[in-house]
Each structure stands twice: as structure tokens, then as C-alpha cells.
């Protein structure tokens, strides 16, 4: 399945246009390195959590929003080769001197897909999730994720992805483990649902929440009180850009 590099990025609200412009500017270079698709989604409906949330994950300041982002690769080998090229390319060094965000607080890591249903691209809205999963219950989590993916797709989702940590390090300031206050024996799921638009997403969630067959039953294979989620407006999607160019 597809390999994902997942990101959570704190960006000053006033720098939204600059961030989008820079992401679009760098996209051809990332594709040259091997990135098959790049998505940048802007904080739109991101709730504050009592224990964890997207803003806490990057120590977001009052004037900052959160970007939920990912790169797609065919496999980890391609991703590793791409990262090596990025680290040695002078264009990346020059770009880093004028970024629209604080890279020290950005969260990133590599994730291996365990569920990938539907076709990405064509939508304008994304639900993003970060979940602490009990490592010994990986298969139970996959089965539950597959069940929910089918429910999302029945209710209008374009694509559903669940990916588990494969190359996720511990950072000095922020990281995915810290973001969910991970405990011993837990791994991280980086997950998202792509929607045509926010209205479709809102309507779908109303139906899913009312569906008794989808109510939690028994012991869950993840720590629900420490997972977090939010809704994001897509501001860059190279799949959409390619579709427009090919039309």
C-alpha cells in the first residue's frame, strides 16, 4: 500500500497565503524527488481537547492555525530516497531560510498504510486524526478501521486512509508520541478521510453518529481519550492540480 509522510504544522493565521504559495512553489521539486501527491489542509473545524488536540500537538500560539499535511509515496524506499535528495539539495536550503512556519515545532513522521479505500483528489475537505493504538492490537484496530472506512464511503467520503507509525522519531520539542501522550506499548495512527466538501462531511457524520451498528462495543484497540481529530480545508492538492492540467 501507499507510504505516507505525515505532518502537523503551526502556521501564523496571517501567513496563510504565503504558506499556500510556498507549498505550490515547492510542489514541482517534491514531485521531482518522488512525491506522488502532496496535500496541505488548513485548520477549519478543529476542536480544543481536554487532554490532546491538534493545537497542543505543535504548541500553537494564539495567532497560529494548524495545517494537516501529507506526502504520498509508492513505498518507504522511495520516501527514504526522496528525503535524502531533499536534505542535499541547495534549493531546499534556500527555501528553509524564509519559511512561513516554525519548523522547530512541526511534527512529522513516516506511516505505512493498513487501510486505503477510495480515490484521493477531487475534494475540498479533509478530516484528520492522530490516534494512540495498542501495538499488540494492531489487527483489531485494522479491522475496526476497515469497518469505519466502509461506513464513511457509504456516506459520501472519497477516500479513507489509516496508516500506522513506521518511521516516527522522538523530537526535542514536538513529535507524534508526545502529541497523544503515548504510553509504553502504543504506536501511532495517522489517519484521514477525504470529502467532496464540508457539507457532505457534516451530513455524513450526523448519519454515522445515529447508526447504532457503529456504536463502540467492547474494549477498543486504541486510547480514545487521547486521540484527537479535526476538520481541514484543502488549500493545496497536487492531485487536483494534475486533474485540472489534464482536463
CATH number for the domain harbouring residue 84: 3.30.70.100
pLDDT > 70: what percent of the chain?
96
54-61 average pLDDT score: 98
Q: Quote the domain boundaries for residue 60.
A: 3-246
Q: Which pLDDT score is estimated for 95? A: 66
Q: Which pLDDT score is estimated for 89? A: 86
Helix (H) or strand (E) holding 211, with range, is none
Give the pLDDT band (50/70/90) at residue 96. Answer: low
Q: Which pLDDT score is estimated for 216? A: 82
Strand blocks (E) in 32-106: 37-45, 64-73
Q: What is the pLDDT of residues 143-159, one digit of tens each?
A: 999 999 999 999 999 99
Q: Which pLDDT score is estimated for 217? A: 82
Q: Which pLDDT score is estimated for 246? A: 43
106-123 average pLDDT score: 96
What is the CB neighbour count within 10 angstroms for residue 133? 28
82-89 average pLDDT score: 91
Q: C-alpha grid cell for residue 81?
A: 530516497
Q: C-alpha grid cell for residue 216?
A: 463502540
Q: Which pLDDT score is estimated for 247? A: 36
124-142 average pLDDT score: 98
Cβ-defined contacts of 153-157 (< 8 Å, 24+) = 153/117, 153/118, 155/203, 155/204, 155/207, 155/208, 156/195, 156/196, 156/200, 156/201, 156/203, 156/204, 157/118, 157/193, 157/194, 157/195, 157/201, 157/204
Q: What is the pLDDT of residues 17-50, one digit of tens each?
A: 999 999 999 999 999 999 999 999 999 999 999 9
Q: Are 174 and 106 in contact (CB under 8 A)?
A: yes
Q: Which pLDDT score is estimated for 64? A: 98
Domain count within the chain:
1
Q: What is the mean pLDDT of the chain?
A: 94
Q: Are 243 and 121 in contact (CB under 8 A)?
A: yes
Q: C-alpha grid cell for residue 58?
A: 505543535
How many residues comprise the chain? 247
What is the CB neighbour count within 10 angstroms for residue 169? 11
Residue 196 is given by DSSP the state S
Amino acid at each position: 500500500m501507499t507510504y505516507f509522510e505525515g505532518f502537523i504544522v503551526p502556521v501564523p493565521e496571517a501567513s496563510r497565503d504565503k504558506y499556500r504559495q510556498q507549498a505550490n512553489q515547492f510542489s514541482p521539486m517534491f514531485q521531482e524527488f518522488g512525491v506522488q501527491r502532496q496535500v496541505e489542509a488548513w485548520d477549519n473545524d478543529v476542536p480544543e481537547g481536554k487532554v490532546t488536540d491538534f493545537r497542543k500537538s505543535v504548541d500553537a500560539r494564539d495567532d497560529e492555525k494548524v495545517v494537516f499535511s501529507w506526502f504520498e509515496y509508492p513505498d518507504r524506499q522511495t520516501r527514504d530516497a526522496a528525503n535524502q535528495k531533499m536534505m542535499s539539495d541547495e534549493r531546499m536550503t534556500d527555501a528553509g531560510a524564509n519559511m512561513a512556519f516554525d519548523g522547530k515545532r512541526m511534527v512529522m513522521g513516516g506511516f505505512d498504510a493498513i487501510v486505503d479505500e477510495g480515490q484521493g483528489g477531487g475534494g475540498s475537505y479533509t478530516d484528520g486524526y492522530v490516534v494512540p493504538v495498542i501495538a499488540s492490537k494492531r489487527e483489531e484496530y485494522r479491522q475496526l478501521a476497515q469497518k469505519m472506512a466502509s461506513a464513511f464511503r457509504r456516506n459520501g467520503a472519497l477516500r479513507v486512509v489509516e496508516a500506522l507509525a513506521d518511521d516516527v522519531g522522538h523530537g526535542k520539542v514536538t513529535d507524534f508520541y508526545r502529541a497523544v501522550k503515548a504510553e509504553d506499548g502504543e504506536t501511532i495512527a495517522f489517519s484521514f478521510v477525504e470529502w467532496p466538501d464540508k457539507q457532505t462531511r457534516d451530513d455524513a457524520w450526523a448519519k454515522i453518529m445515529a447508526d447504532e451498528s457503529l456504536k463502540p462495543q467492547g474494549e477498543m484497540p486504541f486510547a480514545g481519550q487521547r486521540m484527537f481529530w479535526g476538520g481541514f480545508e484543502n488549500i493545496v492538492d497536487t492531485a487536483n492540480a494534475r486533474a485540472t492540467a489534464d482536463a
